[in-house]
Structures are given as structure tokens and as C-alpha cells.
Amino acid sequence: GENVEQHPSTLSVQEGDSAVIKCTYSDSASNYFPWYKQELGKRPQLIIDIRSNVGEKKDQRIAVTLNKTAKHFSLHITETQPEDSAVYFCAAASNNNDMRFGAGTRLTVKP
Amino acid sequence: EPEVTQTPSHQVTQMGQEVILRCVPISNHLYFYWYRQILGQKVEFLVSFYNNEISEKSEIFDDQFSVERPDGSNFTLKIRSTKLEDSAMYFCASEDGGELFFGEGSRLTVL
């Protein structure tokens, strides 16, 4: 089955700096890579996703890149704000049937 | 905006007891999922359900677990004989081939 590795486990940045979170996956059949933001005690919420036919996707301050050959994908948050502080999970799935999550990255943005 | 609803929000039970967690997915969605998140850990896939049958299950989803869609709206997760290690937040999710929507979760505490 799919195995998703996520790094780093914790990340602390100054407000305004960029944050990068990296994930690798093992199953070459995976073709859907969402990123979720989870605030303390809340449900995971989708913030951005990418499919395997695309190499990069951007939505305002967040962007995701995918390297299918190397089986890794990354989340980039620019101009970070304190409200970006949360746990971020990457995930990988083939046709959404068996989505597997990374271990999560706790992002802290210091004002 | 339509959302996935889960009940109960919190359940406390004695070890060995049966527990049923209930979910009402978004009405026009076709795929349903249960995930588990032990406190402070990553979101773990349990099972996916499509066309009234399990389409995929993880190694966590053993014989103690079962899922059912007893009517047109509810999607339930039953744990037959709870163990201490079943204590976790259980998230239901649904999707229609696109974004995965999570419920707010049911926190299960096994004493």
C-alpha cells in the first residue's frame, strides 16, 4: 500500500517568511495529492490539491509542486501570517480510494 | 454550504463495549470514508465505501470494525468490543470524485 513521509515534523518561521513542507510517496499509481490544514481540535480542511498531470498549482499565498519522477511533492506558503499556524497534512491517493496521510507538520508563525 | 455531520461529538465507553458512530454524508456524494486520529498523531485511513460495499480497508480495520449504510442518509462505524487503544477522534468524510469533505469528528474515549 501507499506510504507517505512528511518533513519536517515541526516548523517555526517569522511572520512574513516562507514555509516549505515536503512529502514523498511510494505508490507510483497515486495520482491525487491534497494538502490539509488542521487547527487544534478541528477537522482537517483542504487548502490545495494537485493531480499528477500537473507539476505546479498556486492559490494566492500557497502553492504546491509535484515531481512524479522523484515521487515527491511540496507545499509552499509565502508571506506567512500568525493565522497560518496549524498542523498541515499531505496525503496521496489513487482515485481517492485509499487516501493515506503524512504524519503532519506543526507550523508556528511567530509575530 | 453542505457539510458532513457526525454524532455523537464525544462518547465515553468501557472497554469491551460496542460503540456505533454515526455520520450523515453530503447528500449527492457517492464515496464515504472513515478515518481515525489518535491524539497528536496523523490522520489514518480506516475504510472507504462505495455503492453499498467496502471498496478498500486498511490494516487497522480488523474484524472488530464494521461499516453500514442502513438507509439513504446514514453511514455508521461500529466497533464491536472496544479496546483502550481505540480511543481516538474518528472522522467521517465524503466526496463525489473531487474534494474530500470531513465531518467535525467523534471523539471516542475508552476507559
pLDDT band at A2 (very low <50, low <70, confident <90, very high): confident
Least CB–CB distance from A98: residue in B48, B95, B97 = B48
pLDDT band at A13 (very low <50, low <70, confident <90, very high): very high
Q: Is B75 helix (H, G, I), strand (E, B) or coil?
A: strand
**Beta-carbon separation of A96 and B31 below 8 A:** yes
What percentage of chain B reaches a pLDDT higher than 90?
73
Lowest mean pLDDT among A6-20, A80-94, B46-60: B46-60
pLDDT of residue A96: 53
Contacts of residue A83, Cβ cutoff 8 Å, sequence gap at least 6: A109
pLDDT tens track for B14-45: 999 999 999 999 988 989 999 999 998 989 99
Owner of C-alpha cell 465531518: B103
How many whole angstroms separate alpha carbon A69 and alpha carbon A94?
A: 16
pLDDT of residue A40: 83
Average pLDDT over chain B, rounded to an integer: 93
pLDDT band at A72 (very low <50, low <70, confident <90, very high): very high
Q: Is pLDDT at A42 greater than 70 in this prediction? A: yes
Q: Is pLDDT at B102 greater than 60 in this prediction? A: yes
**Beta-carbon separation of B43 and A1 below 8 A:** no
Least CB–CB distance from B103: residue in A43, A101, A102 = A43
B31 interfacial to chain A (CB closer than 8 Å): yes
B55 interfacial to chain A (CB closer than 8 Å): yes
B97 interfacial to chain A (CB closer than 8 Å): yes
Give the A-side interface with B, CB within 8 Å: 1, 34, 36, 38, 42-46, 49, 89, 91, 96-104
Q: What is the mean pLDDT of residues B56-83?
A: 93
> Following DSSP, what letter does each residue of A45-91 receive, concatenated?
EEEEEEETT-SEEEETTEEEEEETTTTEEEEEE-S--GGG-EEEEEE
Q: Is pLDDT at A95 greater than 70 in this prediction? A: no
Give chain A positions within 8 Å (CB) of B99.
34, 46, 49
Q: Higher confidence at residue A69 or residue B100?
A: A69
pLDDT tens track for A51-71: 888 899 999 999 999 999 999
Average pLDDT over chain A, rounded to an integer: 93
> If we measure between CA atoms, which residue out of B64, B73, B68 comes closest to residue B52?
B68
Least CB–CB distance from A44: residue in B43, B45, B50 = B43
Q: Is A18 helix (H, G, I), strand (E, B) or coil?
A: coil
**Beta-carbon separation of B105 and A43 below 8 A:** yes
Q: Is pLDDT at A81 greater than 90 in this prediction? A: yes
B73 interfacial to chain A (CB closer than 8 Å): no
Q: Is pLDDT at A4 greater than 70 in this prediction? A: yes
List the single residue in A with minimal CA-CA distance to B58: A98
